[in-house]
Amino acid sequence: MILSALYIFPLIFTYRFLILITLCRRNIAYTPDLVMKIFLFFVLAIGLGLATANYNYYRLPTALRPQKYYLRILTLLENPEDLRFAGTVQIVIEVLQNTQNITLHSKNLTIDESQIRLRQISGEGKKDNCVSSTSLNPTHDFYILNTCDELVAGNVYKLSLPFAAELSRPLKGYYRSSYKNPVDNVTRWLSTTQFEPASARKAFPCFDEPGYKASFVVTLGYHKNYNALSNMPVKLTKPHETLPNYVWCEFQESVPMSTYLVAYSVNDFSNKPSTLPNGALFRTWARPNAIDQCDYAAEFGPKVLQYYEKFFGIKFPLPKIDQIAVPDFSAGAMENWGLVVYRESTLLYSASHASLNDKQYLAEVIAHELAHQWFGNLVTMKWWTDLWLNEGFATYVASLGVYDIHPEWNSKDRESLSSLLTSFRLDALVSSHPISRPIQMVSEIEENFDAISYQKGSSVLRMMHFFMGQDAFRSGLKSYLERYAYKNAEQDNLWESLTQAAHKNGALPKNYDIKTIMDSWTLQTGYPVLNVTRDYTTNTAKLGQERYLRNTQISRAFRERCWWLPLSYTTQEELEFRNTAPKAWMECSSTGESSSKTISDLPNSDKWVIFNVQLASPYKVNYDAQNWKLLIETLNSDDYQTIHVINRAQLIDDVLYFAWTGDQDYETALQVTNYLQRERELLPWKSAFNNLKQLNRILRQTPNFGFFKRYMQNLLTPIYKYLDGMNDTFSSMQDQDEILLKTMMANWACQYQVADCVPRAQAYFRRWRSEPNPDENNPVPLNIRTTVYCAGILYGTDEDWEFLWSRYKHSNVGSEKQAILSTMGCSKKVWILQRYLEKAFDPKGLIRKQDSMLSFQAVASGQVGFLLAKKYLIDNVELIHKYFYPQTKIMSRLLPAISEQVITTTDLNEFKAFVENSRQFLRSVHQAVQQSLEIMLTNVQWMERNNHQFSRAIQRHL
């Protein structure tokens, strides 16, 4: 009886049981005592076996440390019906604590367990060991190998595991991608990886946590017609032992790195080498037919890499770096060490197809990924909680890198403002979250790649840069990077290095430390509004702070929070906007409470003050009525430029938010925005449109839209004319910001039918349509193409739509394809939009999965399209879920365009019911759903509180 039980359960039993089996087989006399002992042993062993199988903590046990991986993978790309890979991984494992099992990650891999080998390679005792049984924990993707003999602390073992799988169809792990070769119209297949954050485990069994850094020796087997790339340069290539025409290519051993940064690809791409003296070997890869679009990336990449070497004072440690444009890629780009992967639209640049916006975005992305080579790759976060150290840094530092190479693009200010505007919006929601937050499940890791990690992260780093100054900030970063190179760190480690540098440089009072200040920003959700109330008799101002929230029903008590605020300010007398160093600090008590503060020596009642110079810190500022009045006077006078351009953007953003939440009236807000009729610079307009966009989406559904439309026309007409309307004046513009301003203005002018915008756009579109060869010749000026395409579709015929769709099919340029996808939703014809939505989620259609979102967003942001897209989502959530599965997190991007336009309680309730009924399909986007519901709620609140007040105020300004 016992014996048969033993044979049924062998897989989950540890080696103790194997001993038991042996015992039983040796005809021993079964005394009752012995039977009892065996029984007890049996119970104990089941307990042990299950305990191992049931290890259910989300982190790997800490008894083992992988030192090195030998990864050998054969990739088969010849038969499109059977694209797969098979390999072996040998992991050199150091034992830190005695243990009886090896627990690592593996997902969707077939492992031939008869071929698993385990050997001790250093330390005392017998060398042979083995795996007695294995088990799985699918919740955490654990693969648990129970060992025959205990693994002893101090010893080193080598575990060898064979594995195989189909090349993944979702764009994660080791996956397939393809493109059509235009020469013979044949589909070419390639393979590539995307491991961050937790998909290396789908490509090979490994310790898939960022803290387990190890070196990697990758060997790839493939047909000799292909190239192979990995993190390191090729060491040697030799023929495959048995497969004819196959080769093995071994790459050099890597530096110690996290699994999520491992990368490899087998493809038939071409490359363009860069020539940069003394630098790492730098190559840019793309489909052969797109290789002529690699020039800009090949030039920009090495330049920005060199800038970082200077900025961080640390050389790029690898001998080479490849950047590759993969036709199917889910993110924008991925920073794998030495092999950076991009989607085509973020790496390839065609001077004859791309706008200045496209080009700047490309530079920004390349700069971002290369910044990661230090922040992320060299020094990696200990755990995903500190993801922002990777993403916030790369986002911030990229703007410095791009600025260094293209100072004329003004990227430092532009990117900073855009980060601030984005985080102000999201972080004013109760459903936002702290920059640094506990992460357990893989789905939570993925949710963390959001505007809080990227944009708020970048904004708080900029704040530090501004209050510490260049020298202390840089030297703190350098010592942090040096101290933790090839290791892992958490935010406290960074704070320590920065505090030391700041104190050494005298950049921070000795009784302050960076941790205390920054914890208030990274561990706490939200941001504050600084309320400035001046006393005009004593020339002082009383300052108070509270959390700023969009939802006005939240209690005051909930808002009572404290942030350490660097107080930089200037006055109408002083006009000193260059100095961003704080003149004082708003402190928090040790228990996190704020108290009010008084500032003295302010000017008389006829001169304004402005706090938060250059918007150095991510907080809003509200003033008393008199100070707003003074500011409005200056803005609406010829002196408006005495206020720094970023502070002009700040005043617009702040006042429009305050009006939204009822902290200011719309009369005041409109007096501020009125000055825009004078404004000729990009950033204030960007800030205005960022807010007006939201008002537009609400108001166009109300009877008062006519007033808003006239107001907008009045605002836009002077600048539209100043920028010479839709005429192609781009090549004569000296100021690059003016090109962007004109691009943006054209878009808004056509939306509001300003002057001749629409007829001119239609004329351009018609000219393109009448070209005999429209794929070769496009007469539409590059920088206004999206405006022209959108007007062409909105006011055009069914044939116009078909024309654009054909251009999409024929285009060889990623950014052009994206521009077309995002304008084909401009139609107001129900059947066309409906058909477009279906195309977007057709697994066999021509829109790649990576781009479906663009099409959906394009439809959803239109007036007619919004209603259709909302219904489509509600009716088809299961289909959409299936379409994206297992990358369903991407569904979060379906929501914003919808939620911004829901303005009635009825629609909000409909959406709530939908969320309730579709819980199973929305599980991975829980956070985004909560944020959407809150945005809808604040829209409903706006309608109730502001709609009438706003329409009265706006009529006074017509």
Which residues have a catalytic role annotated? 369
400 binds ligand BES (CB under 6 A): no
Residues 6 or more apart in contact with residue 241 via CB below 8 angstroms: none
Distances from the Cα of 432 to the Cαs of 134, 409, 436, 932, in angstroms? 41, 32, 12, 11
Q: Tell me the β-bridge partners of 186.
A: 181
List binders of Zn ion among 464-493 (CB under 5 A).
Answer: none
Signed CA dihedral, 103, 104, 110, 113: sign only: negative
Best CA proximity match to 716, nearest among 690, 683, 747: 747
- Which one of ligand BES, Zn ion, none is in contact with 334 (Cβ closer than 5 to 8 A by kind)? ligand BES
Residue 928 in contact with ligand BES, rule: CB under 6 A: no
| DSSP secondary structure letters along 743-761 | HHHHHHHHHTT-TTHHHHH
Residue 365 contacts ligand BES per CB under 6 A:
yes
Is the Cβ of residue 335 or residue 816 nearer to ligand BES in the bound state? 335
Compute the least distance from the CB of residue 394 to Zn ion, in Å: 4
Task: Compute the least distance from the CB of residue 365 to ligand BES, in Å.
Answer: 4
Residue number, 302 or 392, with CB nearest to ligand BES = 392
333 binds ligand BES (CB under 6 A): yes
- Residue burial 337-359, b: 16+ Cβ < 10 Å; e: rest: bbbbbbbbbbbbbbeebbbbbbb
The answer to whether 433 contacts ligand BES (rule: CB under 6 A) is: no
445 binding Zn ion? (CB under 5 A): no
Using CB under 5 A as the binding rule, whether residue 206 contacts Zn ion is answered as no
Interatomic CA distance for residues 12 and 548, integer angstroms: 55
| Rg value, the chain, Cα | 30
Selection from ligand BES, Zn ion, none that 476 binds (CB < 5 to 8 A by kind) is none
CA dihedral 330, 333, 337, 339 (to 10 degrees): 90
Contact 529, 640 (CB under 8 A): no
Rule CB under 6 A: is residue 130 a binding residue for ligand BES?
Answer: no
Rounded to whole angstroms, the Cα distance separating 418 from 900 reads: 19
Minimum distance, C-beta of residue 812 to ligand BES, in the bound complex (Å): 22
Query: Token pair 């440690």 is at which residue?
Result: 317
Longest dimension (CA), the chain: 107
Name residues contacting ligand BES, limited to 366-385 (CB under 6 A).
368-369, 372
d(CA 571, CA 607) in angstroms, rounded, equals 7
Q: Is 415 an interacting residue with respect to ligand BES (CB under 6 A)?
A: no
Q: Using alpha carbons, select from 132, 942, 216, 326 the residue that is nearest to residue 951.
A: 942
DSSP state of 257: B
The stretch among 55-63, 213-221, 329-337, 535-543 that binds ligand BES (CB under 6 A) is 329-337
Q: How many residues does the chain have?
A: 958
User: Is 744 a residue that touches ligand BES (CB under 6 A)?
Assistant: no
Interface stretch with ligand BES, choices 326-334, 419-427, 514-522, 573-581 (CB under 6 A): 326-334
Q: Does 335 bind ligand BES (CB under 6 A)?
A: yes
Nearest distance from residue 401's CB to Zn ion, in Å? 13
Look at residue 339 and give its three-state secondary structure: strand
Closest CB to Zn ion among residues 392, 528:
392
**Which is closer to ligand BES, CB of 211 or CB of 718?**
211
Question: For residues 318 and 716, which CB has a smaller minimum distance to ligand BES in the complex?
Answer: 318
332 binds ligand BES (CB under 6 A): yes
Nearer to ligand BES by Cβ, of 64 and 367: the residue is 367
Contact between 394 and Zn ion by CB under 5 A: the answer reads yes
Q: Give least dist CB 466 to ligand BES, A.
A: 22
Q: Kindly state the DSSP code that residue 639 receives in the 8-state scheme.
A: G
The minimum distance between CB 119 and ligand BES, in angstroms, equals 35
Interacting partner of 447 out of Zn ion, ligand BES, none (Cβ under 5 to 8 A depending on kind): none
Please give the size of the binding site for ligand BES, defined by CB under 6 A: 15
Distance CA 812, CA 235 (A): 34
Residues in contact with ligand BES, shown as a per-residue x/- string from 193 to 222 under the rule CB under 6 A: ---xx-------------------------
Number of residues in contact with Zn ion under rule CB under 5 A: 2
Query: Which stretch in 360-368, 378-386, 596-604, 624-632 sits in contact with ligand BES by CB under 6 A?
Result: 360-368
CB of 512 to ligand BES, least distance (A): 32
Neighbour-count burial for 618-656, b at 16+ CB within 10 Å, e otherwise: bbbbbbeeebbebbbbbbbeeebeebbbbbbbbbbbbbb
Site for ligand BES in 449-488 (CB under 6 A): 449
Cβ–Cβ under 8 Å, residues 364 and 355: no
- Distance separating alpha carbons of residues 599 and 917, to the nearest angstrom: 54
What residue number has its CB nearest to Zn ion? Answer: 394
> Binding to Zn ion by residue 518, rule CB under 5 A?
no
Nearer to Zn ion, 392 or 796 (CB): 392
Report how far residue 621's alpha carbon sits from residue 424's, in angstroms, rounded to the nearest whole number: 12
196 binds, among ligand BES, Zn ion, none (CB under 5 to 8 A by kind): ligand BES
CB of 441 to ligand BES, least distance (A): 15
CB 483 within 8 A of CB 586: no
Q: Under the criterion CB under 6 A, does residue 262 sit at the interface with ligand BES?
A: no
Q: How far apart are CA 514 and CA 580, in angstroms?
A: 17
At 622 the three-state DSSP class reads strand
First and final CA of the chain: distance in angstroms? Answer: 93
- The smaller minimum CB distance to ligand BES, of residues 395 and 827, is found at 395
Task: Give the shortest CB-385-to-Zn ion separation in angstroms.
Answer: 16
Give the nearer residue to Zn ion in terms of CB position, either 393 or 619. Answer: 393
In angstroms, the CA 16 to CA 44 distance is 10
Show the site string, 342-381: x = touches Zn ion by CB under 5 A, - = not: ----------------------------------------
Instruction: Specify the residue, 449 or 720, whose C-beta has the smaller distance to ligand BES.
Output: 449
Binding test (CB under 6 A) with ligand BES, winner from 334, 439, 541, 692: 334
Check binding of 391 to ligand BES (CB under 6 A). Answer: yes
Give CA 226 to chain center in angstroms.
32
Q: Which of 528, 516, 511, 523 is nearest to 589 (CA)?
A: 516
Contact (CB, 8 A) for 262 and 336? yes
Q: Which does 333 bind (CB under 5 to 8 A by kind): ligand BES, Zn ion, none?
A: ligand BES
Q: Tell the smallest beta-carbon distance from residue 890 to ligand BES (Å).
A: 10
496 binds ligand BES (CB under 6 A): no
Cα angle, residue 237 at apex, residues 234 and 238 outer, rounded to 5° = 165
DSSP string over 432-488: ---SS----SHHHHHHTSSHIIIIIHHHHHHHHHHHH-HHHHHHHHHHHHHHTTTEE
Sole window of 363-371, 653-661, 737-745, 774-782 interacting with ligand BES (rule: CB under 6 A): 363-371
Q: Tell me whether residue 314 or residue 370 sits nearer to ligand BES (CB atom).
A: 370
| Rounded distance between C-alpha atoms, residue 901 and residue 867, angstroms | 9
Nearer to ligand BES, 153 or 331 (CB): 331
Task: Find where tokens 């007398």 sit.
Answer: 573
Nearer to ligand BES, 250 or 369 (CB): 369
365 binds, among ligand BES, Zn ion, none (CB under 5 to 8 A by kind): ligand BES
Element of type H or E holding 590: none
Site for ligand BES in 60-79 (CB under 6 A): none
Token pair listed for 417: 């403002």
Residues forming contacts to Zn ion in the complex (CB under 5 A) are 391, 394
Residues forming contacts to ligand BES in the complex (CB under 6 A) are 196-197, 331-335, 364-365, 368-369, 372, 391, 394, 449
